[in-house]
Structure formats: structure tokens, C-alpha cells
């Protein structure tokens, strides 16, 4: 099996994967996608459950997304995961989308049913389980700041916080208008009073240091859902002077054990975790959607932790 397949391979899937046994029937679409740990996690689960199928990476560019999705039934796929930057665009290209994914506006799991493509989202529920596993707390009891609230993962996470009725939600995004639009969509979830004090339960704020400093005084959990930190040369998304020991800091990035943000947060005494646990649980939930059976969680965790 190749590390990464392309649209050209998908157009001639039988020829491109001739001799592959078991056949490749699941994938992750992304751009970039070479970093994805999903194949090792899902291939271990498929083997452990005796399912005769394998999972691969497909490098699909934005302009190729529609064609790539439509090729899946003919190529014999059971489904695919969707990652950066396709999660919002995929929603409009499917035949049906479940309520949760439609509400949050992003899809990360596609099921092929005959000729039809059905969309789901497991990022939010995966994050919920990850936060409980990493910090022993539930989103509903927390004041949360989401950095990158305008991206696919950020929207899913923010919507999950809203659905959990978390104490407080602060939306931050480099392109401010996207955070403002999301706040307007989520407003109905934050009608009831829950926190004491003057802080509003839901706010979109501009990415400006003094504004973030003030907001962080009323925050328990910071979640980085931007892609800043994925490249080795990326700086930390927050200045280290803003980080305090009382914070929990979760970085959805899992390509590094500690991203620049997590290194700074740990130095400040904060509790930190990277996105591996979210990846694990969103993968577990995708597997359960595809196969309608419990996923082998420990097998998947061990596979992710093995060097690729
Ligand atoms: P996306 O839809 O392309 O969104 C990217 C987000 O990052 C946008 O909010 C964008 O802001 C922001 N951004 C990019 N560069 C930035 C910078 N230099 N400074 C500040 N903000 C910046 O991507 P996505 O699918 O949501 O993925 C985002 C991240 O989540 C990735 O790192 C991905 O690995 C991670 N993720 C992890 C898991 C997991 O299971 N652990 C699951 C999903 C995603 P603008 O709106 O201004 O462009």
C-alpha cells in the first residue's frame, strides 16, 4: 500500500491497487494528508475485528473534492474521513447529512450507502471524550476559549460546547467575522444564566493580546483548533505571557507531542494535552458509524502510539 494516493489513483482504483489484499475500502481525504495517523489506527482496528478491508490516505486538493467523493461508490469504498481543509465544503456535496453535522456545518465522516453519500461529524463528540479522559472534567462545567473557531474543527468543538451547555464560551479566530457568525448561530444555546459575575456566557472576540488577556481571566480551558503549530517552524498561537498555571490547555494538533503552545503552557504550570486523544475518540466514533459495532479502543490507542 502506498503512503499517499491521489485523485488520479482513485479514477483508476482497481488498477492503482491491484494485488492489495485485503482491499482498500476506507480513507482519509486531506490537503496536506501525509501526516495523518488515521491509517495506522484504523488498520489495526480492522485487522483486530477480522474485517477484510484497509484504510489509506488520499491527497485531495480543494478543486478535486467533488469528483473524489463521487468516485467512492464505484471504487468500492465503504466510507472516508475528511480532514483539513475539506470539512465544510464536503457538507454541500453529499446526498444526506445527519442532524448533528448539519447543525455544526462540518462533516468529518462519510458513509457510502449504494450510490449515496451520507455525512456525519465525530470531532465534537470525540473532543468531549478526550477532555474527560485527559483532565477528568466535563465540558459542561467549564469556561472554554476556542482559538480557530472559524475552521472546521473549531466549529465542531464550539458547537459541542454549546450542545453541552458549557459555562462560558469565547470564540476567537484570525478572520474575526467567522467567529462572529458562529457566535450568532450558537446564541440560542446560551440564553440561560449559569455563571455568576458580569462575564457574558457567549462572546466572539478579536485576536488582540489585551482582549485575550482579559478573557483568559474568565477561562478554565483553552483549545487550539487552528492549524498553527502543525509545522515545525510555526510559533505558539498565544504569547507565553498570557498563560497561567490555573489553565487547562488542549491543542488539537497531534503531530507533535508538545506544540509550541503546549511547551509554553507547561512552563507556566498549566495542565496540557495534545490532540492524540481527540483523534483516537473521533476515530473510534467513525469506526462505530461505519460498522455499527463497538470499536476496539485499546487496539486503536496502541496503534497510534506505535512509531509509524
Ligand atoms: P481548517 O478548516 O482549514 O481551519 C483552520 C483554522 O486555523 C482556521 O480557523 C484558520 O483561521 C486558523 N489558522 C490557520 N493558520 C493560522 C495562524 N497562523 N494563526 C491563527 N489562526 C490560523 O482546518 P481544520 O480541519 O479545522 O483543522 C484545524 C486544526 O485542527 C488542524 O491542526 C488539525 O490537525 C486539527 N484537528 C485535529 C483533530 C484531532 O482529532 N486531533 C481533528 C480535527 C482537526 P482563518 O479562519 O482566519 O483562516
HEC secondary structure over 117-168: EEEECCHHHHHHHHHHHHHCCCHHHCEEEEECCCCHHHHHHHHHHHHCCCCE
Torsion, CA 37, CA 146, CA 184, CA 190, rounded to 10: 110
Catalytic residues: 87
Residue (of 4, 28, 26, 31) closest to 16 by Cα position: 4
3-state SS assignment for residue 57: strand
**Measured distance CA(225)–CA(13) in Å, rounded:** 33
Q: From CA 301, how far away is CA 278, in angstroms rounded? A: 11
pLDDT tens per residue, the chain (308 residues)?
A: 999 999 999 999 999 999 999 999 999 999 999 989 999 999 999 999 999 999 999 999 999 999 999 999 999 999 999 998 999 999 999 999 999 999 888 999 999 999 999 999 999 999 999 999 999 999 999 999 999 999 888 999 999 999 999 999 999 999 999 999 999 999 999 987 666 567 889 999 999 999 999 999 999 999 999 999 888 899 999 999 999 999 999 999 998 899 999 999 999 999 999 999 999 999 999 999 999 999 999 999 999 988 76
CA distance 122 to 7: 25
Q: How far is residue 305's CA from residue 308's CA, in Å, rounded to a whole number?
A: 9
Residue with CA at minimum distance from ligand 1 atom 19: 228
Sign of CA dihedral 42, 47, 51, 53: positive
- The pTM of the full predicted model, rounded to 2 decimals, is 0.92
Residue with cell 480532514: 83
Model pLDDT, residue 279: 95
> Which helix (H) or strand (E) element contains residue 43?
helix 38-48
Question: Which residue is associated with the grid cell 487552528?
Answer: 226
The reported pLDDT for the residue numbered 230 is 87
pLDDT, position 306: 83
Reply yes or no: is the peptide bond before residue 32 cis, omega within 30 of 0. Answer: yes
Q: For residues 271 and 132, what is the distance between their CA atoms, to the nearest angstrom? A: 13
pLDDT at 103: 86
Ligand 1 mean position, distance from CA 153 (Å): 7
Q: Does 84 contact ligand 1 (Cβ within 6 A)?
A: yes
CA separation, residue 243 to residues 11, 215, 264 (Å): 49, 12, 7
Ligand 1 within 6 A of 178 CB?
Answer: yes
What are the structural domains, with CATH classification, of the chain? 5-121+279-305 (3.40.50.10860), 124-274 (3.40.50.720)
Atom number in ligand 1 closest to CA 174: 47
Question: What pLDDT score does 228 carry?
Answer: 92
CA of 237 to the centre of ligand 1 (A): 11
Instruction: Tell me, using a 6 A CB cutoff, whether residue 252 lines ligand 1.
Output: yes
Amino acid at each position: 500500500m502506498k503512503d499517499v494516493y491521489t485523485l488520479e489513483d482513485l479514477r483508476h482504483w482497481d488498477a492503482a491497487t491491484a494485488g492489495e489484499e485485503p482491499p482498500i475500502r476506507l480513507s482519509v481525504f486531506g490537503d496536506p494528508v501525509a501526516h495523518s495517523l488515521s491509517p495506522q489506527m484504523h488498520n489495526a482496528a480492522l485487522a483486530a475485528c477480522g474485517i477484510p478491508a484497509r484504510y489509506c490516505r488520499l491527497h485531495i486538493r480543494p478543486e478535486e473534492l467533488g469528483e473524489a467523493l463521487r468516485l467512492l461508490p464505484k471504487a468500492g469504498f465503504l466510507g472516508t474521513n475528511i480532514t483539513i481543509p475539506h470539512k465544510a465544503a464536503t457538507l454541500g456535496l453529499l446526498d444526506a447529512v445527519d442532524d448533528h453535522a448539519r447543525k455544526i456545518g462540518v462533516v468529518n465522516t462519510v458513509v457510502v450507502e449504494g450510490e449515496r453519500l451520507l455525512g456525519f461529524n465525530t470531532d465534537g463528540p470525540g473532543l468531549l471524550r478526550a477532555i474527560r479522559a485527559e483532565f477528568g472534567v466535563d465540558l459542561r462545567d467549564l469556561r472554554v476559549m476556542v482559538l480557530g473557531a472559524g475552521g472546521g474543527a473549531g466549529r465542531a468543538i464550539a458547537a459541542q460546547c454549546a450542545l453541552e451547555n458549557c459555562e462560558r464560551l469565547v470564540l476567537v479566530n484570525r478572520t474575526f467575522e467567522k467567529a462572529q457568525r458562529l457566535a450568532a448561530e450558537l446564541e440560542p444555546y446560551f440564553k440561560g444564566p449559569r455563571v455568576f459575575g458580569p462575564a457574558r456566557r457567549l462572546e466572539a472576540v478579536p485576536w488582540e493580546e489585551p482582549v485575550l488577556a482579559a478573557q483568559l481571566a474568565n477561562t478554565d480551558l483553552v483549545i487550539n483548533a487552528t492549524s498553527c503549530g502543525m509545522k515545525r517552524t510555526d510559533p505558539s498561537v498565544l504569547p507565553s505571557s498570557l498563560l497561567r498555571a490555573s489553565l487547562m490547555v488542549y491543542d488539537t494538533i497531534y503531530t507533535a507531542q508538545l506544540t509550541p503552545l503546549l511547551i509554553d503552557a507547561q512552563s507556566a504550570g498549566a495542565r496540557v494535552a495534545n490532540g492524540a486523544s481527540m483523534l483516537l475518540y473521533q476515530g473510534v466514533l467513525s469506526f462505530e458509524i461505519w460498522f455499527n459495532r463497538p470499536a476496539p479502543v485499546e487496539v486503536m490507542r496502541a496503534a497510534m502510539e506505535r512509531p509509524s
